[in-house]
Structure 1
Amino acid sequence: LNTFHLQRTLGTGSFGRVHLVQSKFNQKFYALKVLKKADVVRSKQVEHTRNERSILMSISHPFLINLWDTFQDDANLYMVMDYVPGGELFSVLRKSKRFSENIARFYAAEVLLGLVYLHNKDIIYRDLKPENILLDSEGNIKITDFGFAKHVVDVTWTLCGTPDYLAPEIIQSKGYGKPADYWSFGVLIYEMLVGSAPFYDENQFKLYEKIVACKPVYPSYFSASAKDLLSHLLTKDLSNRFGNLKRGCSDIIEHPWFQPMDFEKLIHRKITPPYIPKLQGEGDTSNFDKYPEETVPYGLAQADPHRHLFPEF
């Protein structure tokens, strides 16, 4: 920890926060995720946290966040990750109200390439939403927060994710797998095009009822190809959901809605993103909301009953 200058908080979660830090060695900026061990243990997130570390250590992709290092002290776990200065796609979407199909297609295509990479490694992501998609200095995406990601060869049963994006099979406590990510991908595209999620309801029980009933309303301004793609992603019927058929992700990549997109150019970041974040230098944090800072300093010596639970850190 003392090899970094600790700077402001970029975000907070249920058992920790993310800081901007600057390395004393190479002067580069990183995002430091700090998790309180006692809170991780209390919320029964030990396995999720260990999954997050092992999965991030095993992946490398232009549209996925990079984990550089992890360590721990008596109270906390630390994860040193890319600092992605453009802020959340969520913020850009809220400012724009909704995206044109061209803009939505660009972000959807980058997300899709990241998902396909994970699925090819038998990793399901389980938390796709605009808040977890960050924009780098050029405006390309990085998917972040792998707290729910899991290595799954066939199916898993844990109820986790964010309510608006949960697939019907998760809500109905069925075993689920990669197709659940493609459902969330459909919710994401819909939200980008409309400005709100397809099954939104303030009442969580009603939200779940709507998801399971699965009758999304497509506004009149949707193109026929957008409607067609979404009807094959937002479907309860797994034998009909794109990404889960014998052609796998090709059904999505080669769908008419993605026709204008050159995926080969995209993976090499050769397509100019629709929105380039305004930044003054590398450690600019103007695209992140302000948060109250942590009052307890890190690195204090204290009893550490949980160290044995996190041997890899």
Structure 2
Amino acid sequence: GNFDDSTTRFYIGCVVEALQYLHRKGIVYRDLKPENLLLDTTGYCKITDFGFAKRIGFGKKTWTFCGTPEYVPPEVILNKGHDLTADFWSLGVLMFELLTGTPPFTASDPMKTYNIILKGIDAVDFPRRISRNAQNLVKKLDNPTERLGVGRGGVMEVSKHIWFEGFNWAGMNSKTLTPPILPKVSSAVDASNFDEYPADNEHPPDDVSGWDKDF
């Protein structure tokens, strides 16, 4: 399904705060997507899986091609080098997916997805239920050179956008703001909120190729 403006704003707010923390340390995250966002016992959102995160410092670029196809920024696809602001592109994609239920750029295979991404967000049809301010924020996170957050204000430019007008940032930071979803958790090891998969009882075959005989 999809979330309304208010619910989406809460989770995007959590992500904005997390990115601000990482970017202050010169770390680009590069794998923002719903699967990497988990709710803690209080209902607040946490970023997980830092396999693609990299400390690049400030005002510097990196050229590693990585990320989830639907969330890869155009500058990564074009191998032009990317910096901390690559995360803001992914933030816009995440916001669109939370509001609609599907990412704005998707196709049957990665190469087709990349071609759609290179056409830009203006080529995407926004559902009518997405508010004008929400559309404006998503579109301002598109262009690599004019992207919201590229300036000195960094991610603070995003948090000051009109879509966040009236949002209780102080309440979120102090965790006094009531989250839209409160998980039912009985203990620290309660995994009942996760999907269940059948046990994998297969054992891998013994490797008899002898590649390690000289170790």
Asked if Structure 1 and Structure 2 have the same fold, meaning a TM-score greater than 0.5 normalized by the shorter chain, the answer is: yes
Are the aligned partners of 1:119 and 1:178 in contact in 2 as well (CA < 8 Å)? Answer: yes
Give the equivalent residue in structure 1 for 2:177.
271
Greater strand proportion = 1
After TM superposition, give the deviation of residue 294 of structure 1 in Å: 7.2
> Residue 170 in 1 paired to residue 85 in 2?
no
User: Residues 266 and 294 of structure 1: is their aligned pair in 2 closer, same or farther, counting only changes over 3 Å?
Assistant: farther
Distance 2:111 2:153 in 1: 35
Superposed CA RMSD in Å reads: 1.5
Distance 1:239 1:163 in 2: 21
State TM-score, norm by structure 2.
0.88
Which one of the candidate residues 93, 96, 102 is aligned to 1:190?
96
> Residue 283 in 1 paired to residue 189 in 2?
yes
Partner letter of residue 46 of structure 2?
Answer: K
Distance 1:224 1:217 in 2: 13
SS at match of 1:178: coil
Q: Which runs of 5+ in 1 are unaligned?
A: 1-96, 297-304, 306-313
After TM superposition, give the deviation of residue 204 of structure 1 in Å: 1.8
Partner letter of residue 180 of structure 1?
Answer: A
Are the aligned partners of 2:19 and 2:155 in contact in 1 as well (CA < 8 Å)? Answer: no
Partner letter of residue 109 of structure 2?
Answer: N
After TM superposition, give the deviation of residue 216 of structure 1 in Å: 2.4
User: Residues 259 and 158 of structure 1: is their aligned pair in 2 closer, same or farther, counting only changes over 3 Å?
Assistant: same
Distance 1:105 1:148 in 2: 25
Distance 1:275 1:245 in 2: 33
Which one of the candidate residues 217, 229, 245 is aligned to 2:137?
229
After TM superposition, give the deviation of residue 295 of structure 1 in Å: 6.6
Which one of the candidate residues 39, 42, 47 is aligned to 1:143?
47
Are the aligned partners of 1:170 and 1:176 in contact in 2 as well (CA < 8 Å)? Answer: yes
Indicate the larger mover: 138-147 or 244-253. Answer: 244-253
> Residue 262 in 1 paired to residue 147 in 2?
no
C-alpha distance after superposition, 1:278-313 (max 9, x if no partner): 2233321111122435777xxxxxxxx9xxxxxxxx
After TM superposition, give the deviation of residue 240 of structure 1 in Å: 1.2
Give the equivalent residue in structure 1 for 2:61.
155
Point out 4+ residue stretches in structure 1 off by more than 4 angstroms: 293-296
Which one of the candidate residues 128, 136, 143 is aligned to 1:220?
128
Distance 1:258 1:152 in 2: 29
Distance 2:21 2:202 in 1: 40
Distance 1:170 1:193 in 2: 25
Distance 2:138 2:42 in 1: 28
> Percent of pairs identical after alignment?
41
SS at match of 2:96: helix
Partner letter of residue 30 of structure 2?
Answer: R
State TM-score, norm by structure 1.
0.61
SS at match of 1:288: coil
Q: Which runs of 5+ in 2 are unaligned?
A: 204-211
Distance 2:138 2:18 in 1: 19
Partner letter of residue 53 of structure 2?
Answer: A
Are the aligned partners of 2:37 and 2:45 in contact in 1 as well (CA < 8 Å)? Answer: yes
Give the equivalent residue in structure 2 for 1:101.
5
Distance 1:294 1:152 in 2: 42
SS at match of 2:38: strand
Are the aligned partners of 1:124 and 1:178 in contact in 2 as well (CA < 8 Å)? Answer: yes
Distance 1:184 1:294 in 2: 37
Give the equivalent residue in structure 1 for 2:23.
119
C-alpha distance after superposition, 1:116-158 (max 9, x if no partner): 1100110000100000000111111111101110001210000
User: Residues 281 and 250 of structure 1: is their aligned pair in 2 closer, same or farther, counting only changes over 3 Å?
Assistant: closer
